[in-house]
Amino acid sequence: MSNINLNDQVVWITGASSGIGRALAQVCAVQGAQVILSARREDELKAVLQDLPAPERHDYVVMDVTNEQQVVDAYQQILQRKGKVDWLINNAGISQRALISETSMQTERKIMEIDYFAQVCLTKIVLPKMLAQGHGQIVFVSSVAGLIGTQYRATYSAAKAAIHMWANSLRAEVADQGIGVAVIFPGFVQTNVSFNALNGAGQPQAHQDEAIEQGLDVDTFAKAAIRAVMSGQEYIVIGGAKEKLGVAMSRIAPQWLYKMIRKSKVK
């Protein structure tokens, strides 16, 4: 498939104040896109905006992705300023580090609200106009955890798997209407995701995981991710050898994978 041109395309990225979202914004801007950054923290968004090449070409809107009215208002602001959204990158999310037996139902619901329902809601808000304009690209940042459930990440894995399946259905429904749907499955990437990961009580664990520290450089990840989407890929796994092996084994020898996970010391 021929490459998708990002020049002057309006790309809306959620969770853009740090980590993967920030890195994706940088790559899209370099590719010539007009980037719209969204997150809850305005000061961080301003800092990300100023770091982008030609910052005057880009913009930000502050919103909480779990607040539907804020999301609707943010979208209206973007339409007023830019007139359209060509790409939507659903990147906002939160991880988990807690055993099932220690995770409250409130925390279970909070993770699903951020990692699944918020992505569904935002996509449904943007989709009608995207269909009307006859083109668009919707991207979901899932996780290898959504393909391989492990200890301490049950709800996170479930939410990331759920958005993957929802995206598959969306792709089938809009494929003949000019809309592309891609799902990215990051392995371990060097970000603050584990600092912010929720414990069973719903509080950030506030420390880094060893696996994250040894993970893929976030800028290297972002370049690979955007390159894959631009080349028309729809199922995009980006990670180290262990993660890629795990994904492969989940397809061809799931029982072997389950045994390996039980013996692993993930945390």
Residues labelled as active-site residues: 156
**165 Cβ neighbours under 8 A, 6+ residues apart:** none
> Burial, 238: exposed, middle or buried (Cβ in 10 Å; 0-12, 13-18, 19+)?
buried
Chain centroid to CA 258: how far? 26
Cβ proximity of 38 and 61 under 8 Å: yes
Cβ proximity of 50 and 60 under 8 Å: no
131-154 CB burial, b ≥16 within 10 A, e <16: eeeeebbbbbbbbbbbbbbbbbbb
Query: What is the spatial order of strands in the sheet that 10-14 belongs to?
Result: 59-62, 34-39, 10-14, 87-90, 136-141, 179-186, 235-238
- Two tokens, residue 48: 């990300």
Beta strand 87-90 with 136-141: parallel, antiparallel or unpaired? parallel
